[in-house]
Amino acid sequence: MLVLIACHLGFVRHNLQHLMSKSGDKVLTASTLNSAQEIIATNPGIDVIITDWKIRGGSAIDLQHFCRQIDRPAIEGSNSKEPEFIILITPNTTVDQESLRTEADVALEFGFQHILEKPFDRKKLLDTIRQIGRTKKSAVTASHA
């Protein structure tokens, strides 16, 4: 699978890149919202984006909006025009002091299905990526039947 890791912390980005590459995935990395957007625009076959809730220059929501706005051609072997997101959040961190909504609350409101709390379990991350891969593969198989 083609994975984009968008994280402003170099050591986290490099550790994730090593983990994903070791498991056989092709990995692209970005440290800012702008660089992530450039990579997404030039690599329409990205299957998964792993990102922090906040990334230098924006947020996971900004990446999601960007993915929905660009014209991604249908990629052979993929039934989804948009990549799946895995959001890395800090537990109990509020994004709105008035309502006390947490990063997880807002992520769910915006439709993010895969949310991992920091520090995240590497096995759980890999399991989530494999689950996404199986789902995409079965969707492609069903569309060709």
Please report, for the chain, the start and end positions of each structural domain, with discontinuous segments joined by +: 2-144
CATH architecture of the domain with residue range 2-144: 3-Layer(aba) Sandwich (3.40)
Assess whether pLDDT exceeds 50 at residue 79. no
Question: CA nearest 6: which of 72, 74, 57, 81?
Answer: 57
How many residues in the chain? 145
DSSP state of 73: P
How far apart are the C-alpha atoms of 52 and 90, rounded to whole Å?
Answer: 9
Per-residue pLDDT reduced to its tens digit, 24-44: 999 999 999 999 999 999 998
Per-residue pLDDT reduced to its tens digit, 95-138: 877 778 888 899 999 999 999 998 989 999 999 999 998 888 77
Whole-model pTM: value is 0.88
